[in-house]
Amino acid sequence: MKETIYTIPLSESLEQDSECPFCYLENKLESEQIDYCLGPAMMEPDHRILSNTKGYCRRHMDQLAGAKRALPFALVLDTRMDEVIQTLEDARGTKKTGKKAGLFAKKEPGASRVAQAAAELTATCLVCERMEHTMSKFFYTFWYLYGKEPDFRKKVLSGKGFCLHHFKEVLNASEKHAGSRREEFLEELTSLELENLKRNKQEVHGFVKQFDYRSDKENWNGPKDAHLICAGKLSKF
């Protein structure tokens, strides 16, 4: 298998004892992006411009704050605030409907423009956009390797499947990248997914039964965090 910037981490993700290799990749990528935004990126003018204009979603703003790197984080906020204030002030300004505006000239409702500006300011996240771009490359690489490399395919089918979110993404990516054997491959992955969902169901059911005084607690060997594993399978977190 020819190794590239995407095949190496994808192969590594399959070697983890993980319920979803793409969750492993995404969590690792997210951590790297947060470190980058508060580290080397601070010295890159192009990144600072994007950071100021795109900003960060609530999840990633919280992670930036949680990194406990006060000065770099404050610098990010300082210049982002300039962008936010300027955008809202521009939106609040009066827009003229013609070349000349008299005393009774029509004006666009200021509140509508400000609301639109606020919506645009909160609609983008630099970390999210970079992660989505990289994850799309991983999905393409997954299907390329699945169709071309028997060892890779064997590793996938001996794994624990995917979380429901990434299972959907894998299926969506198959339309463009799975090739002529798409239906065969989808049947394999669907069987894998259902097999592991049923395992998760049994584990969480066994966990619930341990709270019944009639249960055989001593002979139950399921995971102590079966409820958290099941939650992660249904909704990545």
For the record, the structure tokens of 166 come out as 């990434």
CA distances from 187 to 114, 199, 217 (A): 50, 18, 37
165 near 187, Cβ under 8 Å? no
pTM of the full predicted structure?
A: 0.83
pLDDT band at 100 (very low <50, low <70, confident <90, very high): very low
1 near 149, Cβ under 8 Å? yes
What is the structure's pLDDT at 94? Answer: 52
Burial of 93 (0-12, 13-18, 19+ CB in 10 A): exposed
pLDDT tens-digit profile of 118-129? 999 999 999 999
Q: What distance in Å separates the CA atoms of residue 166 and residue 150, rounded to the nearest whole number? A: 22
Residue 47 parent element (H or E): helix 45-54
For the record, the structure tokens of 172 come out as 């969506």
What is the structure's pLDDT at 35? Answer: 96
Q: What is the share, in percent, of the chain residues with pLDDT greater than 70?
A: 90
- Region 78-94: mean pLDDT is 90
Query: Is the predicted pLDDT of residue 209 greater than 60, yes or no?
Result: yes
- Region 163-186: mean pLDDT is 94
Query: Is the predicted pLDDT of residue 22 greater than 50, yes or no?
Result: yes
What is the structure's pLDDT at 3? Answer: 58
